[in-house]
Amino acid sequence: MGVAKTPAVLWLLGAVLVLGVSVSPAQGAKTRYHDFFIKESNYTRLCKERTVLTVNGQFPGPTIYARKGDLVIVNVYNQGDKNITIHWHGVDQPRNPWSDGPEYITQCPIRPGGNFTYRVILSEEEGTLWWHAHSDFDREWWNADVNHLLEEAERIGGEINISDANTINGQPGDLFPCSKAGTYKIPVQHGKTYLLRIINAGLSNDLFFSVAGHNLTVVGTDGHYTKPFAVKHIMIAPGQTMDALLEANRGDGGRYYMAARTFASNPNIEVNNSTATAIVEYMDDAPGRTAPPEFPTNLPGVNDIDSATAYTAQLRSLGSKDHPVDVPRQVDEHMLVTIAVNVLPCAPNETCGGPDGNRQAASLNNVSFVNPSVDILGAYYRSVRGVFDADFPNKPPFFFNFTDVDNDPVERWATKRGTKVKVVEYGAVVEVVFQDTSILGAENHPMHLHGFTFYVVGRGFGNFDEQKDPATYNLVDPPHQNTVSVPKAGWAAIRFRAANPGVWFMHCHFDRHVVWGMSTVFIVKDGKAPEAKMMPPPPNMPTC
């Protein structure tokens, strides 16, 4: 069986500032250099021309190919009209939080006319990673100016209007108006196997993905190998990547849609319920290239939580000699972190657009995170006081039946703002149990941790039971990820060893939830050995 030399990189909900980092085993580490010019470019989708922020004029952005152990140096020049930062999603960046990217967490933004050089240190990652803007809403497709939509939503404290299309590699596909000519196509030859690098680069939607007439064999997620398993579809949360093999085994040739459809776990929230498509074409079947594409018959429906749960349960680490599993058995820091959508009171003489006339908010352990006016990393490194509080709680302030979707009293809706961080000792083993709540509606949440790849040791529905549920943990071959999909009205448990000193953001990857405050920060102290201490800052850090 032949394997295609060039993999297909599929940006589901195609992003403006994204790429896949193709990391393969080290064959002599190299330093690789790239220039990113942030600029405005005009693109037409859905019959409408829009000016969007791009890297090097490309939509989606350029792909970086690298190998395990490489150093990638990216010079970013901001030629746009707004502040920008870049995050290297899934790269642990050992001892180097200065190049991680989230604005006001590890750096001040790169202002228009400014530049900054990122040092992207690849260590244990293999497979598909990606990069994206970590400032405002710089991904997905809206016909309207998304920055204006965000500003208006923040002004009135209301919901953010949904996007107008899902896309694959920047194209919505021929089910949308004015889109047939630009539909993304993948040419294949019978008998070959193709590696699909699938990235959910969207702002707000989990996605189902399927290829008509073909199974997919999943072999990796979030830059780490999995035990291979065959599926008819995948479910991928925002921020996650999946590596999947597509075997071009249709002897009758033809054309087949690959389709991405929104998975919405909360039916009370308005979502972009559209299906983006691309086309797989057999090049050795000339007559078949004019036939209408076949549509997937096994693509789950928009609210099919059972299909999403069944897919996620199949993810397992490879656990081979070259890719061993090393789940920490003894835990030093236990954290139970509740996830909630909340409200904040509307100010006097204001009219707000959130529930019951309040401002929309979100929280972890009932703390709605507020970005400071200077970056937390710089303040921590220089011992600047008053920027953050080192008292993020290990448990929620009050307990109730977190997942009772039929009982959501108004008095539970409120939260409080704060810039609270969690400080841990170098080398400590941390277990975080994310607990979804029914406050203003239960739903899935893609929780992402910067600076670490963690083991997802357990998950379930209902309230986490610290006496019973740990007995169900998988400590043998749990998936190794950086973004975990916490199930609706359920929980997910992760473990990691805090052996990467620095300041690391943890947040929901639904971007509107980040805007509302569903995030916090881990500060990992320096260890004793030189190789256990954070690197000093580079000389050209942007200033606030």
Residue 55 has pLDDT above 50, yes or no: yes
Q: How many whole angstroms separate alpha carbon 162 and alpha carbon 167?
A: 14
Looking at residues 455-479, what average pLDDT do you find? Answer: 98
If you search the block for the tokens 């030399």, which residue do you land on?
5
pLDDT band at 135 (very low <50, low <70, confident <90, very high): confident
Rg (CA), the chain: 22
Per-residue model confidence as pLDDT tens digits over 210-246: 999 999 999 999 999 999 999 999 999 999 999 999 9
Please give the C-alpha separations between residue 58 and each of 103, 177, 431, in angstroms, as whole numbers.
23, 22, 40
What percent of the chain has pLDDT above 70?
94
Residue 6 has pLDDT above 70, yes or no: no
pLDDT band at 3 (very low <50, low <70, confident <90, very high): very low
Structure tokens at 488: 């609706």
Per-residue model confidence as pLDDT tens digits over 240-277: 999 999 999 998 889 999 999 999 999 888 888 899 99
Which of 320, 482, 304, 380 is CA-nearest to residue 106? 380
For 154, phi and psi rounded to 5 degrees?
Answer: -70, -35
- Residues with Cβ < 8 Å from 468, sequence gap 6 or more? none
pLDDT band at 17 (very low <50, low <70, confident <90, very high): very low
What percent of the chain has pLDDT above 90?
84
pTM of the model: 0.95
Which of 377, 357, 384, 413 is CA-nearest to residue 534? 377
User: Which CATH superfamily groups domain 333-532?
Assistant: Cupredoxins -  blue copper proteins (2.60.40.420)
* 149 CB-contact burial (10 Å; exposed 0-12 / middle 13-18 / buried 19+): middle
Query: Boundaries of CATH 2.60.40.420 in the chain?
Result: 31-156, 185-313, 333-532
Pick the CATH number of 31-156 from 3.40.50.300, 2.60.40.420, 3.90.870.10, 2.40.170.20: 2.60.40.420
Looking at residues 96-123, what average pLDDT do you find? Answer: 97
Per-residue model confidence as pLDDT tens digits over 366-396: 999 999 999 999 999 999 999 999 999 999 9
Q: How many whole angstroms separate alpha carbon 490 and alpha carbon 346?
A: 30
pLDDT band at 145 (very low <50, low <70, confident <90, very high): confident
Q: Which residues of 474-507 are buried (b: 16+ CB within 10 A; e: fewer)?
A: beebbbbbbbbbbbbbbbbbbbbbbbbbbbbbbb
Q: What is the topology classification, in CATH, of domain 185-313?
A: Immunoglobulin-like (2.60.40)
